[in-house]
Amino acid sequence: MSSTQSVKPTRSGQSTHTIRELTAAFSIWLAAGLVMAILAWILIDISIRGLSQINLSFLIDDVTDAGRSGGIGPIILSTILILFVTLSVSVPLSIATAIALTEQLNSESLLARYVRRCLDILAGVPSIVFGLFGNAFFTITLGLGYSILSGGLTLSCMVLPILIRTAEQAINSVPLEHRHAAAALGMSRSTTLFRVILPAAAPALAAGIVLSIGRALAETAALIFTSGYVARTPESLFDSGRSLSVHIYDLAMNVPNGGARAYAAACVLVAMLLVINETTALLLKFAGLGSTPHAGGCR
């Protein structure tokens, strides 16, 4: 058999090849298309059923008739307050922990490894377990009762693992060159950290925060036991408050004929997420920290 014959593709081989290529391409496009279609379906479904009921009074009025009429003013306020508590506890704590893991501790030290292991396990704990823990610890042991504070603190425990791991990655992904440049300019470790490393890590840090806001906003199980069901306007952080997702759950499951209103509330929740996402991107752009080309110019 001559060498020219052995490399010459046969007719059937060629068509198998073509079929395989086409199948691969088709499957990939199908998968990507499916993902987009599901998202679009959910969004369109929610919008069609929900948007028509949304107006200003829906957004600011009190809840009446268990949510079948009136608005969701107190619910939005409670949601924002719970989110506020969650973030003001979890963001400083997680960034500090991430700094400890990356800058202070040797990344291979026993403590660092244990902290990481704990976080990974925590990240996999179902949110209902966080709810039970929050109920036992914050509402009963600490005596905070069913309150926005209890709910917010429970959610911060829940989002801590994801926040710390994303913050750790964000800090680690700042190129070593930045540290060298700072050292060569005679800058101290703290200046380097706060003026060089953290600003450079800001976009990735923000992405982690937005991700955990999403998880916190979506949470119902952990909140039912901690911040409670009360749909009144909260007067302080020690009052019980119903979050949007708890409200949606309640309308859909417990209130006969509440489904339509549940869609409207879901619309508001999705809109909130989009606004938070876009605002973060805009803020970063304003601060001159948007995702830009890396050092080293065009490579």
Q: Which of 196, 230, 255, 273 binds other proteins (CB under 8 A)?
A: 196
CA distance 39 to 207: 20
User: Residue 149's CB: how many other CB atoms inside 10 A?
Assistant: 24
Report, in Å, the least distance between residue 105 CB and other proteins.
15
Binders of other proteins in range 148-187 (CB under 8 A): 174-175, 177-187
Closer to other proteins by CB, 173 or 236: give it.
173
Q: Which stretch binds other proteins (CB under 8 A): 26-34, 131-139, 158-166, 188-196?
A: 188-196
Q: Which of 15, 57, 188, 257 binds other proteins (CB under 8 A)?
A: 188
Q: Which stretch binds other proteins (CB under 8 A): 159-167, 221-229, 258-266, 290-298?
A: 290-298
Q: Exposure of 299 by Cβ count < 10 A (0-12 exposed, 13-18 middle, 19+ buried)?
A: exposed
Question: Quick check: 294 binds other proteins (CB under 8 A)?
Answer: yes
Closer to other proteins by CB, 17 or 195: give it.
195
Closer to other proteins by CB, 102 or 139: give it.
102
Report, in Å, the least distance between residue 104 CB and other proteins.
15
Closer to other proteins by CB, 11 or 299: give it.
299
Residue partners of 92: CB distance under 8 A and separation at least 6: none
CA distance 236 to 81: 9
CB 154 within 8 A of CB 226: yes
Assigned token pair, 3:
């060498």
Instruction: Write down the residue that tokens 């960034």 correspond to.
Output: 95
Report, in Å, the least distance between residue 195 CB and other proteins.
6
CA distance 49 to 292: 40
Q: Which residue in 205, 218, 189 sits closest to 97, CA to CA?
A: 205
CB 273 within 8 A of CB 211: no
Give how many residues touch other proteins by CB under 8 A: 29
Question: Which residue ranges make up the site for other proteins (CB under 8 A)?
Answer: 174-175, 177-188, 191, 195-196, 199-200, 288-289, 292-299
